[in-house]
Structure 1
Amino acid sequence: MWDGLGEYIKNLSEGRENFKVVEIGVGKFFDISNYLSACENIDLIKVDINPADRSVVRDDIMEPDLSIYNGVDLIYSIRPPYEIQPYLIDLSENINSSLIIKPLTGEDLNVKGRNMNLKNFKKVSFYIYP
């Protein structure tokens, strides 16, 4: 399943020389970030409020340091807590980037009435904005 999300993001980057991507709330799950880091044209930043190691930038999405997100093309978050989902939307709008949220199966989104499109790619379902 996770390969599908990584592949989808990689496909979005095709034809771009430097596609800047941020994973928010990476935790200790590096499968997708490791896959994307191996892509030559993807510049990946991993962010978490409690970084698991030195490869992860510390930031609080509820009060983001916007300098971290300068020039970002895509933000994605895997199973973000319900309460931070509106902040993900706000950040993507503030920096004019796309957003992918992969919620827990069966979980409703908390995106303040904004329309996110459900996308099914291979064996993974997620929401994309705009």
Structure 2
Amino acid sequence: MPIEDFAYYLKERSGGRIAEIGVGFNFKVALKLKELGLDVFVVDWNKKAIVKARELGLEAYVDDVFKPNLRIYRGIKAIYAIRPTPEIIKPILTLSKKLGVPLYILPFSLDEMPRELRLENYKGLAIYKNE
């Protein structure tokens, strides 16, 4: 169950532009999505992470999920996050609701998720979703 399997899961469910929130320095899934032909971009508050993402050929933006710049997300079809820190989970969910798009979260194994997210097992990956 490599983390890249999450990219295949997302490809099966999203038909269009997709955003990863809180990418940090873990670019595996975004790069795999790009390789699979999806229109993906990544977002983080850390400018160094965004510089690195761009060096790797990813479209990347600095943004604060607590006060998101909604223009960045115009036209997206889904949001995903990989192992987000607990304090940004609810703001990510709020963002997906504002935009009216599905949310997919691959959490740390012990993180508590909001009740409105449903758990799905995909090839051994525990994925929480709000579709």
Normalization by structure 2: what TM-score? Answer: 0.87
Deviation at 1:76, TM superposition (A): 0.4
| Structure 2 unaligned regions, length at least 5 | none
Output the CA distance in 2 between the equivalents of 1:48 and 1:74: 16
Output the CA distance in 1 between the equivalents of 2:34 and 2:116: 29
Q: Secondary structure at the match of 1:63?
A: coil
Runs of 4+ that moved beyond 3 A:
none
RMSD of aligned C-alpha atoms? 1.3
Identity level (%):
33
Aligned to 1:101: 105
- Which of 65, 68, 73 aligns to 2:69? It is 65
Normalization by structure 1: what TM-score? Answer: 0.87
Output the CA distance in 2 between the equivalents of 1:125 and 1:58: 28
- Which of 19, 28, 39 aligns to 1:31? It is 28
- Which of 47, 64, 76 aligns to 2:43? It is 47
Aligned to 2:125: 124
Q: Which amino acid aligns with 1:120?
A: N
- Which of 93, 96, 115 aligns to 1:89? It is 93
Deviation at 1:106, TM superposition (A): 1.8
Deviation at 1:122, TM superposition (A): 0.6
Output the CA distance in 2 between the equivalents of 1:45 and 1:31: 13
